[in-house]
A and B are shown apart, each in its own frame.
Chain A
């Protein structure tokens, strides 16, 4: 009774959770892509998209991807054999157990008329699948906690997944083991299935089962007389053998039974069978109910991601569907860390200590953001930096085992984050190269806004440099400023003006000072006067095309370009980026 009630409750919670999660794919927003579409629009676009795809040749692509990437998981195999083996064992073992054992009334019993759970091959297979799952779990624990895979991060969702499977598997094996030894279960079974006339017959059967079937009896103990065993065997053949294969085939349970033998009787008396039974099925039902909210939801979202991304196209697909897909992809992520392992920008993670630079951690954060998390300034700066420190090499997208279109996700989110009030100085670096190439994808005003914000921020107090009518007052900042710069070669400058005259940027303007603020030779002069901050405010820094003509042609070996780089770096650092911007992802999930 309790079993049925808890099963239905669990199924109800699971179903509601599932529907809720799928609803969020259509209602939540991530980045720029979802801004213009309402939930009803997205639902109808998806319905249309799905129907059109299924009734087209793309169906064959879907079938191929389903077989190769969902069932056989070749994308994992391409990257790492051990991970593929681990996951095959885990998911294969668990799925087969679910179908053959948990759903035995609906599936196995219907397919095989001679099915009994204690009968081979079903009994053996159950143990085999359980063993496979446990080995897979062992590899998972080994990989996450012992093997030190670079940049692989483990959060509470990962730990929950490991724990719930472990509890289900271990409780199942213990339950089987304790049932093998249980005298009370033996007694009950005899009452129900063996029609025994007397005490002697019972004792014979009991002895046989203690000897051959691992029962631990408080009454009888080996060695047994041959006659007793023979009599027991007769009764067994008549009443038991039809449903019971030899228990050694249930190798995990049998091994457990042997280990538990010394304490089997007191455990049985304490009701261990019942207790373990409750733990086992309740763990299953809790796992089921909680599934939509846990990492286990990937068993639904990941295949969807693989299938959908196999047939969608950035330029041809309905933008409403792209918006929906990008929310769904956040649920498909299994936090496997392959993207972070292959990330080209990973060295910056080590240099700055900003976890958000790693693709896997960006994604975890985006999940929280899409669910409505509000960002404080420090967090916004950290995720902005994390999303912007990306060379657009696309490797993460190529290796993702669940087929998430990461590169499009990053571009989408990046554009959204830099449109906020918080200026992002990293936009004034070659990380913007690809944004510039794809300039036409963004409305002109939106394209320029983050650049203008950043320019203003880096100018600091010295936006007055831009005003040609104002005279620059020289602040007395002391000699100590000069020695702060490692590139102290500016002190060799004797003002020959060569750097400015060879500069192609200066040569691009009729009135260069108007746009650039300070010219190269003027910046060197500022530094000579100890006016580092003023030099740092000039637009010239960020308009420098780094062609090194100035440095090459300086007769005094002043490292002009390198000095400009150094000034840029100190501005970025003062704005709390780079190594000054350390952050942890503590509260992301």
Chain B
């Protein structure tokens, strides 16, 4: 963990490609929440794609994409704070592969030298949730919650690429994770039990097998509704798009299906911290989540 002078937490802020183009509210709400708890974020214009889409194409290319970003953060002595779970998983996997395979590491560094970069494996890769849970701490976060929620049922959606493969990601217990649930609980909301909690949202198949992708999402949405959830909670732009924009597409096809809207974790936390709606981009979600404010205890 980066604690610079005066115990300040500083990270290289890695937001990837999806968020600036399609889920800007995830960036703005994360910045607001992190600022409130004293986390410093450093932006790098030179960051490129993490390499996730290239995993289906070519191994060296995906590792190269990831390694470039890691090297850039390394050159400033910073760990990375990653908002996207696919990005997190990809960067971790690339680190793992370069650690296990020295030939790969050498090839990658040769290619990186064309851009004046070198990867040495010094920077850690952390997801937003890990930073909040481990580095900031539940107690600090709780002390910033000014208007906790009451009677709000949240179905946490952990996503796949942070939890698994656990040997690589080391994010949480892969079959009984707790981080996301505790982070949700500290806002006053209830994190409900639901059977398909740890299942995939289906986003990786969007554009490849749209029916299967929609099927997987629909299974989770129905399960969430049946388990009594008021909202889903995500911390990845792919998952969020799948349950937000894509749900908008799925549900309009079959009349009468109930909607289960999804809120991004920093939006959920931010509202309870008293941060304003506009900064958190509440109105930017495709499905209307403004009703979530009615669960705040002093509203």
11 pairs of residues in contact across A and B, judged by CB atoms under 8 Å: A348-B54, A393-B16, A394-B20, A426-B56, A429-B55, A439-B249, A504-B200, A548-B160, A568-B56, A569-B57, A569-B58
**Set of chain A residues within 8 Å of B64, measured between Cβ atoms:** 347, 350-351
**Set of chain A residues within 8 Å of B56, measured between Cβ atoms:** 426, 428-430, 565, 568-569, 572
Cross-chain contact A579 with B68 (CB below 8 angstroms): no
* CB closest residue in chain B, given A431: B53
Contact A436/B208 with A350-B114, A572-B56 known, Cβ cut-off 8 Å: yes
In the assembled complex, the Cα of A568 lies from the Cα of B55 at a distance in Å of 9
In the assembled complex, the Cα of A344 lies from the Cα of B84 at a distance in Å of 15
Q: Report which of B166, B208, B215 forms a contact with A429, defined as CB distance below 8 A.
A: B208
In the assembled complex, the Cα of A395 lies from the Cα of B45 at a distance in Å of 10
- Select the stretch in A23-31, A519-527, A538-546 that faces chain B: A538-546
Cross-chain contact B204 with A430 (CB below 8 angstroms): yes
Q: Tally chain B residues at the interface, Cβ within 8 Å.
A: 57
Cross-chain contact A344 with B160 (CB below 8 angstroms): no
Closest 3 CB pairs of A and B: A432-B207, A436-B207, A548-B164
Q: A-side interface residues toward B, CB under 8 Å?
A: 150, 342-348, 350-352, 389, 391-395, 425-437, 439-440, 451, 486, 504-505, 508, 542-543, 545-549, 551-552, 559, 561-562, 565-566, 568-569, 572-573, 577-579
* CB closest residue in chain B, given A565: B55
**Set of chain B residues within 8 Å of A577, measured between Cβ atoms:** 57-58
Residue in A395, A429, A572, A573 whose Cβ sees the most chain B Cβ within 10 Å: A429
* CB closest residue in chain A, given B220: A504
Cross-chain contact A393 with B57 (CB below 8 angstroms): no
Flag B232-272 by CB within 8 Å of A: 1 or 0 each.
Answer: 00000010010001100100000000000000000000000
B15 to chain A, nearest CB (A): 10
**Set of chain B residues within 8 Å of A350, measured between Cβ atoms:** 64, 111, 114-115
Cross-chain contact B241 with A437 (CB below 8 angstroms): yes
Cross-chain contact A435 with B200 (CB below 8 angstroms): no
**Set of chain B residues within 8 Å of A542, measured between Cβ atoms:** 208-209
* CB closest residue in chain B, given A487: B59
In the assembled complex, the Cα of A429 lies from the Cα of B68 at a distance in Å of 21
Identify which of residues 189-242 in chain B touch chain A, using a CB-to-CB cut-off of 8 Å.
Answer: 199-200, 202-210, 212-213, 215-216, 219, 238, 241
Q: Report which of A395, A430, A551 forms a contact with B164, defined as CB distance below 8 A.
A: A551
B217 to chain A, nearest CB (A): 11
* CB closest residue in chain A, given B49: A344
Cross-chain contact B208 with A451 (CB below 8 angstroms): yes
Cross-chain contact A572 with B57 (CB below 8 angstroms): yes
Q: Does B65 contact A (CB under 8 A)?
A: yes
**Set of chain B residues within 8 Å of A433, measured between Cβ atoms:** 18, 53, 203, 206-207, 238
* CB closest residue in chain B, given A436: B207
Cross-chain contact B58 with A352 (CB below 8 angstroms): yes
Cross-chain contact B210 with A393 (CB below 8 angstroms): no
Identify which of residues 94-121 in chain B touch chain A, using a CB-to-CB cut-off of 8 Å.
Answer: 101, 111, 114-115
* CB closest residue in chain B, given A346: B48
A415 to chain B, nearest CB (A): 12
Q: Does B281 contact A (CB under 8 A)?
A: no
Cross-chain contact A345 with B49 (CB below 8 angstroms): yes
In the assembled complex, the Cα of A225 lies from the Cα of B166 at a distance in Å of 98
Cross-chain contact B48 with A436 (CB below 8 angstroms): no
Contact A578/B57 with A346-B48, A350-B111 known, Cβ cut-off 8 Å: yes
In the assembled complex, the Cα of A508 lies from the Cα of B218 at a distance in Å of 11
Q: Does B38 contact A (CB under 8 A)?
A: no
A441 to chain B, nearest CB (A): 12
Q: Does B136 contact A (CB under 8 A)?
A: no
A476 to chain B, nearest CB (A): 28
**Set of chain A residues within 8 Å of B165, measured between Cβ atoms:** 548, 551-552, 559, 561-562
Given A344-B17, A566-B59, A577-B57: 18 more A-B contacts, CB < 8 Å? A344-B48, A348-B54, A392-B21, A393-B16, A428-B208, A430-B55, A432-B206, A436-B206, A504-B200, A505-B212, A543-B209, A543-B212, A547-B199, A552-B164, A552-B165, A552-B174, A572-B58, A578-B58
Q: Does B148 contact A (CB under 8 A)?
A: no
In the assembled complex, the Cα of A440 lies from the Cα of B245 at a distance in Å of 13
A504 to chain B, nearest CB (A): 6
**Set of chain B residues within 8 Å of A430, measured between Cβ atoms:** 52-53, 55-56, 86, 204, 206-207
Residue in A504, A505, A551, A561 whose Cβ sees the most chain B Cβ within 10 Å: A504
A329 to chain B, nearest CB (A): 20
Q: Does B60 contact A (CB under 8 A)?
A: yes
**Set of chain B residues within 8 Å of A579, measured between Cβ atoms:** 58, 60-61
Contact A348/B61 with A394-B21, A545-B216 known, Cβ cut-off 8 Å: yes
* CB closest residue in chain B, given A150: B115
A523 to chain B, nearest CB (A): 16
Q: Does B188 contact A (CB under 8 A)?
A: no
Q: Does B161 contact A (CB under 8 A)?
A: yes
Identify which of residues 31-77 in chain B touch chain A, using a CB-to-CB cut-off of 8 Å.
Answer: 45, 48-49, 51-61, 64-65, 68
Contact A391/B53 with A344-B17, A344-B48 known, Cβ cut-off 8 Å: yes
Contact A429/B49 with A351-B64, A504-B216, A547-B200 known, Cβ cut-off 8 Å: no
In the assembled complex, the Cα of A344 lies from the Cα of B49 at a distance in Å of 5
In the assembled complex, the Cα of A342 lies from the Cα of B48 at a distance in Å of 8
